[in-house]
Amino acid sequence: MSHTVILVGAGHAHLYVAARAKALREHGAQVILIDPGRFWYSGLATGMLGGMYTAADDQVDPKALVEAGGGTFTADRVASVNPGARSVHLAGGESLTYDYLSINVGSRVNLDAIPGMADDPSVWPVKPVSNLWRLRRHLETDLCAGRTPRVVVVGGGPTGCEVAANLAALRRRHRAEMPLTLVTLSDRLIAQAPAGAARALYRKLQACNVAIRLGTGIARRQGSALITNAGCRIEADIVVAAIGLQANELVHETGLPTDAEQGLRINAKLHSIADDRVFAAGDCAYLEGHHLPKLGVFGVRQAAFIHANLLASLAGQSLDEYRPQKRYLAILNLGDGSGLASWGPLWWRGRSSFWLKDVIDRRFMARYRSRYGS
């Protein structure tokens, strides 16, 4: 009996599944991957912003990937899911039915958290990743014309700090005097990292002439300024928002149980706690009992479990259980050929850290491009 497996979104986990579509087809499944366009890899994204990588370096073609395994690609966006009818409705108007569904649509920046940001074209959220390429081109146009916009990065987590470091790198490449400020509500940078790593990063950003304002909450965007909770003005021609990541809103359109911030509630088998035919992975999913940070490393690890459990579901076999790793390697690209790596309580900064990150990221991309001959 033929089954239909629909993969919604070309995220980290679904690249893995799409690359192995042949195995699903051998179990009698039609495989359909639905996504508006190309996959942009978060691991290279800030380096792309800083001028280290090109846009082509940062992309994988999901259409070529899934079709190489005998699957089908639909260039569209899923607008809603009806689990009762086992159907998805596309933004383009078409509806498709499924036997098994997997959702890997990532996260978005909650611009509504700061009044005045959501509808301001000078505010650039760090998601989707393609925004960072567009921001680089926008800034390079300004810098080449002799304009030096005041840029403020809001958010002192790993992404905000990487963005600030690589904006400083872009500024150096163009020998420009573009004012850079990083603002965070926290009293330290990268709060989940070891304290020593946070201090080293603080010193590094200062050395790159990035002004850092800790313990500073933003109340609203007003004209060309950010107004702090204390009522102070921070002038900002461009704001890069690296705050408040939330699951893609699609998961709330399924009618299945969700966490308001974290996403579709799933169990250790990575399917909905209310529907064993709907799987999810990565930033759009909330694994019951765990508050995982929204980092690609978890989606990458979940990928093999999604694929294995789709195969098991098709074969009527028991499903594997995923257990998130307690420690994971995190490496920040500091924009100058050096990196800041951490693993649990251990950390180190230097060129060897960046070298390791570059090797890991390039191998990740090459693994998928080789599947379709790119």
- Which of the pair, 14 or 373, is modelled with greater confidence? 14
**CATH number of domain containing 195:** 3.50.50.60
Whether 349 maps to a domain, the answer reads no
The total number of structural domains that make up the chain: 2
Whether 251 maps to a domain, the answer reads yes
- CA 92, CA 78: separation in Å to the nearest integer? 9
Q: Do 152 and 297 share a domain, yes or no?
A: no
For residue range 180-215, list pLDDT tens digits in order: 999 999 999 999 899 999 999 999 999 999 999 999
Please state, for a pLDDT cut of 70, what percent of the chain lies above it: 99
Q: Do 232 and 253 share a domain, yes or no?
A: no
For residue range 131-147, list pLDDT tens digits in order: 999 999 999 999 999 99
At residue 371 the predicted structure's pLDDT band, cuts being 50, 70 and 90, is confident
Q: Do 101 and 121 share a domain, yes or no?
A: no
Average pLDDT, the chain: 95
- CA 203, CA 361: separation in Å to the nearest integer? 26
- Which of the pair, 79 or 244, is modelled with greater confidence? 79
Q: Which residue has the tokens 């893995």?
A: 16
Residues 6 or more apart from 180 whose CB is under 8 A from it?
Answer: 151, 152, 153, 164, 167, 168, 171, 208, 209, 210, 211
Whether 283 maps to a domain, the answer reads yes
Q: Do 149 and 236 share a domain, yes or no?
A: yes
For residue range 145-185, list pLDDT tens digits in order: 999 999 999 999 999 999 999 999 999 999 999 999 999 99
Q: Do 173 and 266 share a domain, yes or no?
A: no
At residue 291 the predicted structure's pLDDT band, cuts being 50, 70 and 90, is confident
Q: Do 127 and 217 share a domain, yes or no?
A: yes
Domain that holds residue 292: 3-36+76-108+245-325
Whether 223 maps to a domain, the answer reads yes
Q: Does the pLDDT of residue 20 top 90, yes or no?
A: yes
Whether 65 maps to a domain, the answer reads no
Whether 63 maps to a domain, the answer reads no
Q: Does the pLDDT of residue 1 top 70, yes or no?
A: no
Q: Domain ends where: 240, 267, 286? A: 240
The pLDDT assigned to 42 comes to 94
Q: Does the pLDDT of residue 336 top 70, yes or no?
A: yes
Token output for 49: 């912003």
Q: Do 212 and 314 share a domain, yes or no?
A: no
For residue range 80-132, list pLDDT tens digits in order: 999 999 999 999 999 999 999 999 999 999 999 999 999 999 999 999 999 99
Q: Do 305 and 251 share a domain, yes or no?
A: yes
Q: Domain ends where: 189, 215, 240? A: 240
Whether 208 maps to a domain, the answer reads yes
Q: Do 264 and 321 share a domain, yes or no?
A: yes
Q: Domain ends where: 205, 240, 275? A: 240
Q: Do 123 and 225 share a domain, yes or no?
A: yes
Collapsing DSSP to helix, strand or coil, 175 comes out as coil
Q: Does the pLDDT of residue 374 top 70, yes or no?
A: no
- What 261-267 contacts at long range (C-beta under 8 Å, 24+ apart), as own/partner pairs, is 262/286, 262/291, 263/107, 264/103
Q: Do 103 and 30 share a domain, yes or no?
A: yes
Strand order, beta sheet including 238-241: 123-125, 238-241, 151-154, 180-183, 211-213
Whether 298 maps to a domain, the answer reads yes
The pLDDT assigned to 292 comes to 84
The pLDDT assigned to 49 comes to 98
The pLDDT assigned to 294 comes to 82
The pLDDT assigned to 261 comes to 82
Q: Do 140 and 234 share a domain, yes or no?
A: yes
At residue 78 the predicted structure's pLDDT band, cuts being 50, 70 and 90, is very high
